[in-house]
Amino acid sequence: MLSSTVISRPSDQYRNRRDRVKTKLKMAANVPVILDNGYTIPVIGLGTWKSEPGQVEQAVKDAIDAGYRHIDCAHVYLNEKEIGKALKAKFEEGNVKREDMFITSKLWCTFHRPDLVEGAIKVTLENLGLGYLDLYLMHWPQAFKEGDDLIPTDADGKLIVSNVDYVGTWKTMETLVEKGLTRSIGVSNFNKKQMDRLLEAAKIKPAMFQIEVHPYLNQQLLIDYCRTHDIAVTAYSPLGSLDRPWAKPGDPNLLEEPKIKSIAEKYGKSVAQVLIRYAIDRGLIVIPKSVTKSRIVENFNVFDFQLTLEDVKEIGSLECKGRLCTLGDTHHPYYPFHDEY
């Protein structure tokens, strides 16, 4: 006589264990990347560029509730005071502590002169309500005229530049580490030649290089360069920065690319989730920006699938040197985007 096998429904114990595993996977989703100096940074963070006052405080709170432990800020975004309010509120709730968070900010171009650098980070720390930063980046290699105007222009609307050398600025940033004002320092929007020159002079090597990266601008040569020097890379504008102020009607839109849509449908994910996963699967840290709670949560929910090498290659075929973010006068001696990379 043949015995029958009874397939039973999952028990409550099994379901509870499964739910705990899912929760652990979600909380482990922001698996940290180890920087060259031994500190760690969560692989996904909340970008705050163009997150307006009146919106960004709640966005940061929502992000922390969703599991984010990495917030990317900058003085020039003009919203660090509100971000500081959000951090203070979350710390006071007791569900997250300062040491759980990784907070990045950036030195703006009007503060490159060495005697202004320490004052600039102290303003950022006061605005954020913090005693130290986890990472402080030189936002751009170009220096602008010092003063209260963050984008100084002359009567003709032309940017007024400063001749401060970014190497001198970097040497002063190194003292910020020694004074405990930031744990790590790095740069953003440099090119290879500028990085070479900086590395030759640096006593403290950049721990991070933050650059624009998305399928229209893959930056593989620059990423490979950073890997040879054990410098981590953060990808900004991973979704194509659709709300950039200078966008024109008819500009290419990553969220509408048929190749990416097809891959998203295959995984049952949104195009934005595939774009974020694309950066992660290339070994990058990524900082998608949103102030909408549902999108903040969705952008973090990218750790239950992984792209294949074929997917990555297919998405990478959209490369067209499509840089979306530039800054300032292209005649500035330290303008970074004349070179190939």
Return binding residues for substrate.
139
Rounded-to-integer distance, Cα 229 and Cα 157, Å? 40
Report CA torsion sign: 26, 28, 34, 39. positive
From the centroid of its chain, how far is CA 296? 14
Give first-to-last CA distance, the chain, whole Å: 74
Contact 109, 139 (CB under 8 A): yes
**Exposure string over 243-268, b if 16+ CB within 10 A, otherwise e:** eeeeeeeeeeebeebeebeebbeebe
Contact 183, 173 (CB under 8 A): no
39 tagged catalytic: no
The two three-digit tokens of residue 25, written as one number: 């996977």
Q: Which of 77, 166, 216, 335 is catalytic?
A: 77
The two three-digit tokens of residue 159, written as one number: 């940017």
The two three-digit tokens of residue 238, written as one number: 């991973």
Would you list which residues are annotated within the binding site?
139
Residue 335 corresponds to which amino acid? Y
User: Alpha-carbon dihedral of residues 223, 26, 73, 239, nearest 10 degrees?
Assistant: 60
Q: Which helix (H) or strand (E) holds 183?
A: strand 182-188
How does DSSP classify residue 256? G
Q: Catalytic site residues?
A: 77
